Structure 1
Amino acid sequence: MSQPELPGWRWGPFTFRLPFYHTRFYWQEALQGLFIAAATGLSLIPLMTMFFGLSFEEAVAVSMIHSILIGSALIVFGEPYAPGWITPALPLVLAFVLGNYEDPTMRFQAMTAVSLNFALLLFVLGVTGLGKKFVFWLPDTLKAGIILGAAIAALKRVFIDDAERFLLQQPIATTLACAVCLIFAFSLPMQKLKENYRFFALLGALGLLPGFILAAVIGPMVGEVTYDIQWGFMVPPVMETWAKVSPFMIGWPSLDMFVQSMPLALITYVIFFGDLVTGNEIIREGLQTRKDEHIDINPTRSHLSMAIRNALMGVAAPFFPTQGSMWVGVHVIVMQRWKSGKAAMDSLHSGLASYYAMGIPLLFFVLPLLTGLRPLLGIALSLTLVLTGFACAYIAMAIPRNNASRGAVLLIGAGLAFFEPWIGLLFGIATTLLLVGWDRNIEPIPQEE
């Protein structure tokens, strides 16, 4: 018989679980989380320093605020998913913000606009229950085109738009990191090795870390990486950063910014809903093994918690879409150990909170770690975008059921990647109607057969 869910302090539809009091600490998850979070959580810093006018220290402060808000999904709101970015939306947002605005202040205002639009959309669709109906109503071809558009935009950002700043600056290290991570994450021959050999299974469970470490070792050998590690601690300049990024200090977005960014909020919602469905299915599958713990799946709570986090991010450290519902790879890794039994992990909430270091962002104060990672952040960003592009492409290509739909998906993806958001979305709707029809499916996320 299933036991009650891990207790905590209820507030409204949410549950606050105090680290070390309600949730146990597991060093295995914390160690993985420290390094993988370091490899990915800081990877937006090169974008913030190059395109948004921030210093390295100010970009660290923005990343720290993002990390605290991400951790709050577990600690403050009681969500049962490993939270992360809505990564497929990132290249589309970058194309919109960097392509339309030259001034760093206006770029942050645009980030605020799309964040607040998304927060409002989540709130309305969550409270009314219309979110599920909205995603069911969208045709498969349009959904697949949106996902493929994210793939094209991600690869375009790495290989064309920012190639000189990132890829061509560190070509060998970046190529090695991307190749190793793609092989361990997606290669079918590697999957067989992981099933047959424990060494490869352990290596594969580390996610992005093996490829990133290889780049960190090879980079200095080929002259592409130079370390300047500094010792001590750093206090991120939060107030100075607030003065440069918050709409309370730099001014609020114009009405035109809100209107122009609304399609991005709609597109991101489709991706978010897919993450939510995926996370729920992973939990339901795990509950068949762990019948001793109840996990509360509550879509309304998820919508509201995401709305609050995105609204806070939009006014404190606007950089969309860093406040998502789930980091699929981490969610699966923690779930696997939770499924091993109560002796391995007493509660899923404890394992998730440990992976995110109990919501305490110590990483951002440790100067040797920050300065050691600094020359590798461009590699981390390229790696994130390449993996996003590959994953989005194979998900998108699995959805169409006929040749007309496949061709339409490619056209829609290109339109979303190369046109303005409104134009891309209207082009996608027209392409779907004219070439395929409104091909709705009763399943929100078609499963690969």
Structure 2
Amino acid sequence: MTQPEKPGWRWGIFTFRLPFLHTRFYWPEAFQGLFVAAATGMALVPLMTAFFGLSFEEAIAISMIHMMLLTSALIVFGEPYAPGWITPALPLVLAFVLDSYDEPSQRWQAMTAISLNFALLLFALGISGLGKRFVLWLPDTLKAGIVLGAAIAALKRVFIDDADRFLLQQPVATTLACAVCLVFAFSLPMQRLKERSRLIALIGSLGLLPGFIIAATVGPLVGEVIYNIEWGVMIPPVSEAWNKVSPFAIGWPSLAMFIEGMPLALITYVILFGDLVTGNEVIKEGLRDRNDEHIDINPTRSHLSIALRNGIMALSAPFFPTQGALWTGVHVIIMQRWKQGHRSMGSLHDGLISYYLMGIPLLFIFLPLLTGLKPLLGVALSLTLILTGFACAYIAMSIPKTNASRGTVLLVGTALAFFEPWVGLLFGIAATMLLVGWDRDVGALPQES
């Protein structure tokens, strides 16, 4: 018998679920979340210190705000997905912001402009219901070109643009970490081993953590990692960070920044829509085994909650695109245990909120954890971008069905990675129309339940 949705405090179409009152705490999810989130949640810190004028402590404060906003998707808005970055858009955004602006304040203003563009776009498409029609209207070749552009931009950032700052500073640790994560995440022989070994399957389910452990172990042995662990508690300097990043403190973006950033908002929406479809399909697949809990799928709520999170981020800690709908790997891991039955996990919302540590930003406060991770953050950034590039590449290459489409996808992806967003997008539209045509394929849509 299907039980009603997990209770909470309703406000409009949203549901506020207070941790420990409305949701139960699960240690297995919290333990994984503490270390996996620590391994990925601060991957942007090296970028913020190298290119955006922040100290390490100020970058930690910004990362803490990002994580708290992500967690609000579960606690404040009642979403049924494990939230995460819109990672494929990150390299395209970095290419635009870092190449177009030299001053840190200008780069923060550009991030504000893109975030507000994205928030307004989501709000309009969510309220009107035009989001589904927009994505269905786009041709598959152009969609694939956008995703491949993200792959090229990610690998270009690691191996060319910022190689001297990150990859070449820790080549052995970074290479080993990337190799381990690529093998466990994508290797076909490893997938067969996972089916035969529960231990291998468990290691594979930990995401980036195995690669980090290898880097943390080998790095000191080859002289690439030096630990200087401090003890105590750090209060992140939120006010100091605010004065360096918020448009209320440094000034608002120019109209030109809003116009130049609009193509990135459109491109990111296409990627986000794919995340929503993926998240819904994973939930629907889980409901075949677990029909005792109602999971409310509501695209309008998702659009509006992501819009609000991006709007708040733009005004307080603008770094696009850290406020998305889905962290696919985590979503699948939690769904797997939820599918085992009520005795394993009472509610999907219990598992999701536990993974995000019940909204308590522990990993941004404890100095031993922060200082222990500090020398590995360059590895984290390279690892995030390389895995993003690999995943985007194989997704993009699986979409085109003809040789003309495959060649066009490469042209579009290269244009988006190397040119300004408007130029790349217009080139992609023209190339698609001239070489392939408007090849639309109506696929799966997120349906409201």
Q: Normalising to structure 2: TM-score of the pair?
A: 0.99
Distance 2:21 2:393 in 1: 43
* Secondary structure, counterpart of 2:232 in structure 1: coil
1:205, distance to aligned residue in structure 2 (A) = 1.0
* Secondary structure, counterpart of 2:233 in structure 1: coil
Summarize the alignment of residues 30-45 of structure 1 with structure 2, pairs less than 5 Å apart.
Answer: 30-45=30-45
For structure 2, list consecutive stretches of 5 or more residues without a partner in the other structure.
Answer: none
2:300 equivalent in structure 1: 300
Distance 2:20 2:443 in 1: 40
Structure 2 residue 237 is the aligned partner of structure 1 residue 237 = yes
Distance 1:20 1:117 in 2: 36
Q: Which residue identity is paired with 1:64?
A: M
1:380 equivalent in structure 2: 380
2:321 equivalent in structure 1: 321
Distance 2:245 2:198 in 1: 47
Distance 1:308 1:52 in 2: 24
Distance 1:284 1:354 in 2: 21
Kindly indicate whether the alpha-carbon contact (under 8 Å) linking 1:231 and 1:368 is maintained by their aligned counterparts in 2.
yes
Kindly indicate whether the alpha-carbon contact (under 8 Å) linking 1:135 and 1:444 is maintained by their aligned counterparts in 2.
no
Distance 2:35 2:226 in 1: 20
For structure 1, list consecutive stretches of 5 or more residues without a partner in the other structure.
Answer: none
1:3 equivalent in structure 2: 3
2:50 equivalent in structure 1: 50
1:179, distance to aligned residue in structure 2 (A) = 0.3
Structure 2 residue 154 is the aligned partner of structure 1 residue 157 = no
Distance 2:359 2:144 in 1: 35
Q: Which residue identity is paired with 2:338?
A: W
2:408 equivalent in structure 1: 408
Structure 2 residue 437 is the aligned partner of structure 1 residue 437 = yes
Q: Which residue identity is paired with 2:256?
A: D
Kindly indicate whether the alpha-carbon contact (under 8 Å) linking 1:136 and 1:444 is maintained by their aligned counterparts in 2.
no
Summarize the alignment of residues 318-357 of structure 1 with structure 2, pairs less than 5 Å apart.
Answer: 318-357=318-357
- 1:210-241 deviation digits (Å, cap 9, x = unpaired): 11110000000000000000000000001111
* Secondary structure, counterpart of 2:412 in structure 1: helix
Q: Percent identity?
A: 77
2:273 equivalent in structure 1: 273
Distance 2:421 2:171 in 1: 31
Distance 1:206 1:50 in 2: 29
* Secondary structure, counterpart of 2:168 in structure 1: coil
1:166 equivalent in structure 2: 166
Q: Normalising to structure 1: TM-score of the pair?
A: 0.99
Number of residue pairs the alignment of both structures matches: 445
1:358 equivalent in structure 2: 358
1:444, distance to aligned residue in structure 2 (A) = 5.0
Q: Which residue identity is paired with 1:7?
A: P
Q: Which residue identity is paired with 1:363?
A: L
Distance 1:407 1:432 in 2: 10
Summarize the alignment of residues 204-219 of structure 1 with structure 2, pairs less than 5 Å apart.
Answer: 204-219=204-219
Summarize the alignment of residues 282-293 of structure 1 with structure 2, pairs less than 5 Å apart.
Answer: 282-293=282-293
Q: Which residue identity is paired with 2:177?
A: A
Distance 1:376 1:444 in 2: 39
Summarize the alignment of residues 46-125 of structure 1 with structure 2, pairs less than 5 Å apart.
Answer: 46-125=46-125
Q: How large is the Cα RMSD of the aligned pairs?
A: 0.6
* Secondary structure, counterpart of 1:80 in structure 2: coil
* Secondary structure, counterpart of 1:10 in structure 2: strand
* Secondary structure, counterpart of 2:276 in structure 1: helix
- 1:292-333 deviation digits (Å, cap 9, x = unpaired): 000000000000000000000001000000000000000000
Distance 1:11 1:442 in 2: 34
